[in-house]
Amino acid sequence: MATFTEKVGKSTLEHLDYVGGLSIQLWATIRALGAALPFTGNRYRWKASIVQMLQIGVEAIPMVGLMALCSGFILAMQGASELRRLGALQLVINLVAMGFTRELGPLITAMAVSGRSGSAFSAEIGTMMVTEEVDALRVMAFDPTEFVLAPKYLAALIVVPCLSVLCNVCGIVAGGIFMFFSTHLGPGLYLHGVLTSIKLRDVTAGLIKSLAFATIIVQVGCLEGFRVRGGPEAVGRSTTAAVVKSTFLVIVADAVFTAIFYFTGGH
């Protein structure tokens, strides 16, 4: 019994330590974020932010777009198979439009960014830890949080919401293509249906979620990297942990935000 209690206690302390580490790192990143801003910040950090925007955002466009198109078709087809029986096929428009703006757009984007960039952050920083590059930064009077993390965070805060909007558009377009071929609904009418079903609050809720997801992906990916100790195998473990933990936390955060929006009347 004592062993079981010890295990529970140890696990609890480890989780608290992890959450504490994330919170401290997030606060340090927010404080360092000013250095990555254009005009007022350090121009080298802003340049690094632009590079990160290309890597996190632009290079992810084909993947996010394709995932959104496939998910849009799936949602439209699955919805249509049930709604057709009820004689409410036109509700597929609402289902796809609201489903993507509120939920699927930010979530699919987060999954893609987590898999592509969260793991890359962890591997990059983990390798820097193993090769003493982070120590080198510190002894050269650079703050690793400002030098490494802030540009990534700023870039993610900008491009992840943009990718979410792209994901929404692609998903809704996929729904339109399905409706055109299954019901011969014209693009104009479909677009009108989409615009009447989406409210500004839905878009805002989706964007707020995508900002939260960007924060989780960057902070978890970087923390896993900074916690690497040992050799290359530790980098591999941290990369896996970054994807697993950020995916889990993204879904938990999604549930929390959805509940908040639901109970505050947003949905």
Partner 1 sequence: MAIISIRDLVVEYDGRRVLDGLSLDIEAGETMVLLGGSGSGKSTLLRQILGLERPKSGSISMKGVDITRCSQAELQRLRRSVGVAFQSAALFNSLSIEDNVALALREHTALAPAIVDLVVWMKLAAVGLSEFGKLHPQELSGGMKKRAAVARALALDPEILVFDEPSAGLDPIVAAELDELILFLKRASQMTVIVVTHELPSAFRIADRIAMLYQGSFLAVGTQEEIRASQHPRIRQFLDRVPDSTATVHTVDAYIEKYVQSPEVKS
Candidate residues 6, 17, 82, 135; the one interacting with partner 1 per rule CB under 8 A: 135
Provide, rounded to whole angstroms, the least separation between the CB of residue 64 and partner 1. Answer: 25
Provide, rounded to whole angstroms, the least separation between the CB of residue 157 and partner 1. Answer: 22
Please list every residue from 38 through 97 that binds partner 1, using CB under 8 A.
Answer: 42, 44
> What ranges in 33-149 are assigned the alpha helix state H?
43-56, 61-83, 91-98, 105-113, 119-130, 133-139, 144
Nearest of 263, 259, 158 to residue 207 by alpha carbon? 158
Select the span of 110-118, 139-147, 176-184, 254-262 touching partner 1 (CB under 8 A): 139-147
Comparing CB distances to partner 1, the nearer of 44 and 248 is 44
Residue 197 in contact with residue 94, Cβ under 8 Å? yes
- 159 alpha carbon, distance to own chain's centre: 10
Determine if 132 is a binding residue for partner 1 (CB under 8 A).
Answer: yes
Comparing CB distances to partner 1, the nearer of 129 and 242 is 129
Cα 263 from Cα 234, distance rounded (Å): 42
Determine if 27 is a binding residue for partner 1 (CB under 8 A).
Answer: no
Cα 133 from Cα 80, distance rounded (Å): 55
Determine if 138 is a binding residue for partner 1 (CB under 8 A).
Answer: yes
Candidate residues 87, 141, 188, 231; the one interacting with partner 1 per rule CB under 8 A: 141
Provide, rounded to whole angstroms, the least separation between the CB of residue 84 and partner 1. Answer: 54
Provide, rounded to whole angstroms, the least separation between the CB of residue 50 and partner 1. Answer: 15
Cα 115 from Cα 13, distance rounded (Å): 28
Determine the size of the site formed for partner 1 (CB under 8 A): 13
Comparing CB distances to partner 1, the nearer of 45 and 102 is 45
Candidate residues 4, 139, 188, 264; the one interacting with partner 1 per rule CB under 8 A: 139
Provide, rounded to whole angstroms, the least separation between the CB of residue 136 and partner 1. Answer: 4
Cα 179 from Cα 233, distance rounded (Å): 49
Q: Coil, strand, or helix at residue 39? A: coil
Greatest Cα-to-Cα distance within the chain, rounded to the nearest angstrom:
69
Q: Coil, strand, or helix at residue 102? A: helix
Determine if 234 is a binding residue for partner 1 (CB under 8 A).
Answer: no
Cα 243 from Cα 29, distance rounded (Å): 20
Candidate residues 142, 187, 248, 260; the one interacting with partner 1 per rule CB under 8 A: 142
Cα 157 from Cα 178, distance rounded (Å): 32
Select the span of 63-71, 132-140, 203-211, 232-240 touching partner 1 (CB under 8 A): 132-140
In the complex, the residues that contact partner 1 under the rule CB under 8 A are 42, 44, 131-133, 135-136, 138-143
